[in-house]
Structure 1
Amino acid sequence: MKSKRNVYLKMKPLAEARKILSDAFPRFGTLEAETVPAPDAAGRVLAEPIFASVSAPNFHAAAMDGVAVKAEITFGISETRPGELIIGKDAFYVNTGHVLPDGTNAVIMVEHLNVLDEDRVEIEAPAFPWQNVRRMGEDIVATELLFSRNHRVTPYCVGALIEGGVFSVPVRRKPRVMVIPTGSEIVDWRKTPIENVTPGQVLDSNSYVLGKLTEACGGEFVRHEVVRDDLGLITQAVEEAVKGNFDIVLTVGGSSAGSEDYTREMMADLGEVLVHGVTIMPGKPVLIGKIGNKPVLGMPGYPVSMIVAFEQFVRPLICRMLGQPEPEPVKIPVETTRKLPSRLGVEEFLRVRLGKVGDRIVATSLPRGAGCITSITEADGIIRIPAHSEGIREHETVTAELLRPLNTIRNTLVAVGSHDNTLDVLADQLRADHGGLTLSSSHVGSMGGLMAIKRGVCHLAGSHLLDTEDGSYNLSWVKRFLPETAVRIVNLVFREQGLIVARGNPKGIQGIEDLAREDVRFMNRQSGSGTRILLDYRLGQIGMAPASVNGYATEEFTHMAVAVAVLSGSVDVGLGIYAAAKALNLDFIPVVTEQYDLIIPEEYFGSENMRILLDTINTGAFKSRVEALGGYSTEKTGEIIL
């Protein structure tokens, strides 16, 4: 039986795929003009050169308050030989912006006048021609070129247009893009209440992201209704769009190699498939075709893949249509905080958090899945790993393309270590009270946080490492692993740690000993996390071997991820904090009240940004928000332990 899967037989490197697209539409140039009022031209691209109709100013104008004079009559005046001017004959009072009286060519500032009476003033210095005067045409001269063709109009430019007597301007028509979401699983959130969305259904966000990306490039979009997985319906929608007044047609989803991915077949039936698959990650499944002499692109269904594909293929098309160069990202050198392996033969667009630690900007990798939209909303930059590379070494200096302004990155506090929900509250409180300061958290476990401090790649680390000898937290671990690093330890919270189970506790789990049951599936935290250390300690107390726990080797990196695993039913129980269970309306079996501290290197403890953070955790607003999460005590929040 013939397979229905559209296997990627001839994937193209990125540069080759971009050239194929460009060569396929050699006359895909600038668009025709439309006329808009000058104020509405901001953000638009001029279709014709613009020349001034009038001069600005169109008269000689006083640039200061004072008296207008003919400069030549003041020559020879000095402090030792002051001169007297008759108002209405030799001098004329003017205010800033007034027309200069006939026969005058200078203005003496009112501060430099000695008023003798209402008819006479005295001066002690001469004026020179055109002193304190805005001459006619000083800014704009009638008929001069204001802006050339293909200039993008800024709000500043609007002022020049109007001052130059240009009140309507010809601009390039906005490129029109049709966005067609496809997939039987896709749900239109405008029509379906969220409570009616069932497992397996997906809210359509992709088409709106593509639309807004189009607008950000200077185009406009129309969103088609969702088309289910049916070759005939998809073909009909695309055919109508190509015949309509659209310049580019984008389908969303169905571009991959699955048995229900019909975009390639549709494209081959209606026109020509130029590229199916590009050696980039994310973004591999992109489809590029030509139908009715128009570009039709099948965009991947995973959001990050789709965004990368748009920026690499659709944005250049829109820029060409508007006569604009493709925007060049700001690039800076950054240092990686850990080894980042990558696949040979694929160019990877790695999303990273950035922060200035000491004299370096350090990069911490975000989740690499193409379906993780938050991996790009939380990213500060992109590191492009070439196809010929197997990855990046730890502490290697590489180039990052910025997604945020550099000053934002310089004002980012980098936290690495154990996950806790209060860090999200703290990050928001900092932004609310101090808009220029950002807290960026990377969750690698308590031990990972201590190692990050040791390597000098963070400003602080969250930790809840239990000393199994005396029951204390963090102190002995800091002394053992950071013997040569001066640090401060500040309590953030005390929190309830325990077993997270489904609502109603259907498996009847009572404690750690139940993890040995064959019918209980467990979700663990990563090695080196404080939660993992706590579990191992408790297992040892009751004489249970880790191998007896069904799921001991299955790991997640945050308490919320463990809670989600329980909520989804993929596991029956996980060890985590009460706040995570409460957030998802799950049941909770307390195990221990533990201490969660911030470990702060001495060199950053006295910095202004750290002072703001420590002041914030001591506010009533922060403590109230934390206690509202449930399972937390802020009695010792802000207390300096070391």
Structure 2
Amino acid sequence: MNKTARNIYLKKRSLDEAISILYNNFDIDGYIGDEVIKSTEALGRVTTESVFAAHSSPNYHAAAMDGIAVSANDTYGASEPSPKKLKIGSEAVFINTGNVLPDDKDAVIMIEDVNDPGDGTVEIIKAAFPFQHVRSMGEDMVATEFLLPMGHIIRPFDIGALLGVGRTEVRVKKRPRILFVPTGDEIAEPDSGPLAKGRVYESNSAVIGAMAMEDGAETNRIAVVGDDLDRIKGTILDNIKQFDIVIVIAGSSAGTKDYTRAVIDDIGEVLVHGINIMPGKPTILGKVKGKLVVGLPGYPVSAVMTYFNVIRPLISRMLGLGEYPYERVTATVLRDIPSKVGDDEFLRVRLSSVDGRLIASPLPRGAGNITTMVKADGIVKIEALSEGLMKGDSITAFILRRKDEIEGGILAVGSHDISLDLLSGDLSLHFPGYSLASVNVGSLGGITALRNGECHLAGSHLLDPDTGDYNIWAVKKYMKEMPVSIITLAHRTQGLIIQKGNPQGISKIEDLKREGVVFANRQRGSGTRILLDYHLKRFGIDPAEIEGYDREDFTHMNVAVRVLSGRASCGLGIAAAAAALDLDFIPIDEERYDLIIPLKYLEDKRIQALVEVIRRDDFKTKIRALSGYDTRDTGREEIVK
């Protein structure tokens, strides 16, 4: 093969077609065998045969209480007015919980109901009935009785039951053995020290490997292999006999150094190259010496989605568990989400319970953004023939967190602020089970979402040009029918974020129209955009004179990153964003950043906890540590009806 030739996808397959091809080429149900292991080591393993009791549990009549063992017949007639005495040894035997019941006894009287006068007898005031306080032989399980079915995942108490009935060993499915082969000249080992420009740490094998272990597989990993066709080929051939699945990470797409398809084609058979899913399209499924070889895309989220859709169901079938039981919920889409026709798109979403319904807020779609998986509560599938989802659509999501974690979430929609991240952390610290999720759509977008009942609160810093005040005017204008509480989070300094050393000599708003100055702007509806437009109008500057005015970023940090990368000369944002990336900053205005909360939510325990955290001194200290922040009014509340 020409090592610089560009790959061309074989016929791309739908997800269902790809899975069908796999099952037609491999005996998935019989792909791995079984083994006998110690019951004490069987947690999480899957039984391959029905399990029956080897002996009874208990296998003798046992005392269930501390006391005296008696024959019930000897106790008849005992009462408080007429206590009965029993001879110790012949009529009453002291016994402890779990002891074998003497053959001539059939009941136990608790020690607290026994009086010992010290004359060789005991005195009782109540008759016993047969098998009182006695665990009968086989009470828990009788020898040969059915205990566990085939295909059962062994739990901690199952282990106790197995040992209790004499089953010290159990036959289970072997764990699928998976080998990860990370590839790429640009890939560095995580412990290799600081990264050179153009290199990234290898993390996919850790992520996918951890998920596979959770799902019942054994995993192994070799050191990163460079973009070397022969080394990749040799690595697969050297290990294929020892493993059930070999997963080659990266090199599955259509680049000139994407060798996975060529390697599999040379030493085996490529079954599928390209699946109509997004992210995850470049996935390769192949067969080498009777074993499955998978080419995973290098982008982290693409790799995760391929695992969710292909590998996880495969492991589940191999273990005899059938279809993987994703837990699903119904939610309402927060805003329009267009999608590409022809691919099943798997969208990461935040899920929040607002007024008794779940709201799904889409997260950024980038296939390389593994942090979106950290933030995601669920995954939504947009069908291949759909052009997307409309605001208000009812959708089904499979969830990545427990339902109680989702129910404990607060949804903030509106303007972005770094202090919201601090607030989220402190909320979870002081009130475990509660969390704060932020969706950045700008101040006006947040107010609109509040008005539509789509969130719990909105972050806002909307300037009233006439009065110089913030947010109250917008609430009165756009939320006339909804009484709210406006709680100040902080005062913060907005200004021009500029490159270190200010190479273009930018000093004021008027410099934005200079030739060669490229501006990083915020999105329409954001408080920062409104502040910029206020100053442009004040200085008589036409937005058309500013290069970059029409390009939009959605957070202060995005603006700062654009400046840091050299794609922009400057941008309007908060001082803390400039300080975080060691950029220079020219102050323009101090503004007030508020949280707008409908009054009805002030009775919600989640919101009460949030407000309590805002007013804590330790939280205010953390805000003051941010560059350009002031907490003189933090926690102050104003009711607007």
Deviates further, 307-316 or 436-445? 307-316
Deviates further, 41-50 or 211-220? 41-50
Match for 2:47: what amino acid?
A: L
Aligned pairs (5 A) from 1:523-562: 523-562=520-559
Q: CA deviation at 1:526?
A: 0.8
Unaligned runs of 5+ in 2: none
Given the alignment, which residue of 209, 226, 231 partners 2:207?
209
Equivalent residues of 1:32, 1:47 under 8 A apart? no
Q: CA deviation at 1:47?
A: 4.6
Q: CA deviation at 1:4?
A: 3.2
Q: Which residue pairs with 2:21 in the alignment?
A: 20
- Partner SS, residue 441 of structure 1: strand
- Partner SS, residue 538 of structure 1: helix
Aligned pairs (5 A) from 1:114-133: 119-133=120-134
Residues 149, 30 of structure 1: CA spacing in aligned structure 2 closer, same or farther, 3 A cutoff? Answer: farther
Listed one character per residue, the Cα deviations across residues 531-551 of structure 1 (whole Å, up to 9, x for unaligned) are 111111111111111111111
- Whether 1:637 and 2:637 are equivalent positions in the alignment is no
Deviates further, 200-209 or 92-101? 92-101
Q: CA deviation at 1:176?
A: 1.5
Aligned pairs (5 A) from 1:196-345: 197-242=195-240, 244-345=241-342
- Whether 1:480 and 2:481 are equivalent positions in the alignment is no
- Partner SS, residue 413 of structure 2: strand
Q: Which residue pairs with 2:71 in the alignment?
A: 70
Q: Which residue pairs with 2:405 in the alignment?
A: 408
Partners of 1:606 and 1:636 in 2: CA distance: 23
- Partner SS, residue 637 of structure 2: coil
Partners of 1:118 and 1:164 in 2: CA distance: 43
Partners of 2:28 and 2:43 in 1: CA distance: 27
Equivalent residues of 2:69, 2:94 under 8 A apart? yes
Partners of 1:428 and 1:245 in 2: CA distance: 45
Equivalent residues of 1:30, 1:322 under 8 A apart? no
- Partner SS, residue 611 of structure 1: helix
Q: Which residue pairs with 2:136 in the alignment?
A: 135
Q: CA deviation at 1:112?
A: 4.2
Partners of 1:362 and 1:129 in 2: CA distance: 61
- Partner SS, residue 638 of structure 2: coil
- Partner SS, residue 159 of structure 1: helix
Q: Which residue pairs with 1:182 in the alignment?
A: 183
- Whether 1:442 and 2:443 are equivalent positions in the alignment is no
Unaligned runs of 5+ in 1: none
Q: Which residue pairs with 1:348 in the alignment?
A: 345
Q: CA deviation at 1:343?
A: 2.0
Runs of 4+ in 1 over 6 A off after TM superposition: none
Equivalent residues of 2:43, 2:156 under 8 A apart? yes
Listed one character per residue, the Cα deviations across residues 48-80 of structure 1 (whole Å, up to 9, x for unaligned) are 554444432232222223332222334455667
Partners of 1:51 and 1:492 in 2: CA distance: 63
Match for 2:45: what amino acid?
A: R
Q: Which residue pairs with 1:425 in the alignment?
A: 422
Partners of 2:617 and 2:105 in 1: CA distance: 67
Q: CA deviation at 1:301?
A: 1.1
Deviates further, 369-378 or 597-606? 369-378
- Whether 1:98 and 2:96 are equivalent positions in the alignment is no
- Whether 1:372 and 2:369 are equivalent positions in the alignment is yes
Q: CA deviation at 1:128?
A: 2.3
Aligned pairs (5 A) from 1:150-169: 150-169=151-170
Aligned pairs (5 A) from 1:492-503: 492-503=489-500
Partners of 1:118 and 1:637 in 2: CA distance: 79
Given the alignment, which residue of 464, 468, 471 partners 1:471?
468
Listed one character per residue, the Cα deviations across residues 272-296 of structure 1 (whole Å, up to 9, x for unaligned) are 2111111111111111111211111
Equivalent residues of 2:413, 2:449 under 8 A apart? yes
- Partner SS, residue 574 of structure 1: strand
Q: Which residue pairs with 1:451 in the alignment?
A: 448
Equivalent residues of 1:426, 1:622 under 8 A apart? yes
Partners of 2:37 and 2:569 in 1: CA distance: 62
Partners of 2:355 and 2:73 in 1: CA distance: 62
Equivalent residues of 2:28, 2:317 under 8 A apart? no
Partners of 1:230 and 1:199 in 2: CA distance: 21
Deviates further, 78-87 or 508-517? 78-87
Residues 268, 199 of structure 1: CA spacing in aligned structure 2 closer, same or farther, 3 A cutoff? Answer: same
Q: CA deviation at 1:389?
A: 1.8
Match for 1:395: what amino acid?
A: G
- Partner SS, residue 348 of structure 1: strand
Q: CA deviation at 1:491?
A: 0.6
Equivalent residues of 2:28, 2:314 under 8 A apart? no
Q: Which residue pairs with 1:388 in the alignment?
A: 385
- Partner SS, residue 600 of structure 2: helix
Listed one character per residue, the Cα deviations across residues 264-321 of structure 1 (whole Å, up to 9, x for unaligned) are 2222222221111111111111111112111111111111111111122222332233
Aligned pairs (5 A) from 1:554-593: 554-593=551-590
Q: CA deviation at 1:173?
A: 2.9
Q: CA deviation at 1:496?
A: 1.2
- Whether 1:59 and 2:78 are equivalent positions in the alignment is no
Q: TM-score normalised to the size of structure 1?
A: 0.94
Deviates further, 84-93 or 366-375? 84-93
Match for 1:512: what amino acid?
A: I
Q: CA deviation at 1:404?
A: 0.7
Q: TM-score normalised to the size of structure 2?
A: 0.94
Residues 118, 205 of structure 1: CA spacing in aligned structure 2 closer, same or farther, 3 A cutoff? Answer: farther
Deviates further, 161-170 or 330-339? 161-170
Listed one character per residue, the Cα deviations across residues 86-135 of structure 1 (whole Å, up to 9, x for unaligned) are 44343333333233233222223344446666655554543322222111
Residues 116, 627 of structure 1: CA spacing in aligned structure 2 closer, same or farther, 3 A cutoff? Answer: same
**Paired residues, number:** 637
Partners of 1:257 and 1:540 in 2: CA distance: 49
Q: Which residue pairs with 1:608 in the alignment?
A: 605
Match for 2:97: what amino acid?
A: T
Listed one character per residue, the Cα deviations across residues 312-366 of structure 1 (whole Å, up to 9, x for unaligned) are 2222332233223232111111111112222222211111101111111111111
Q: CA deviation at 1:639?
A: 0.9
- The percentage of aligned residue pairs carrying the same residue is 48
Partners of 1:448 and 1:296 in 2: CA distance: 47
Q: CA deviation at 1:14?
A: 0.9
Residues 68, 443 of structure 1: CA spacing in aligned structure 2 closer, same or farther, 3 A cutoff? Answer: same
Partners of 1:621 and 1:312 in 2: CA distance: 44
Equivalent residues of 2:29, 2:320 under 8 A apart? no
Equivalent residues of 1:315, 1:326 under 8 A apart? no
- Partner SS, residue 531 of structure 2: helix
- Partner SS, residue 588 of structure 2: strand
Q: Which residue pairs with 1:489 in the alignment?
A: 486
Equivalent residues of 2:28, 2:318 under 8 A apart? no
Deviates further, 514-523 or 172-181? 172-181
Match for 1:198: what amino acid?
A: A
Deviates further, 109-118 or 347-356? 109-118
Equivalent residues of 1:106, 1:129 under 8 A apart? yes
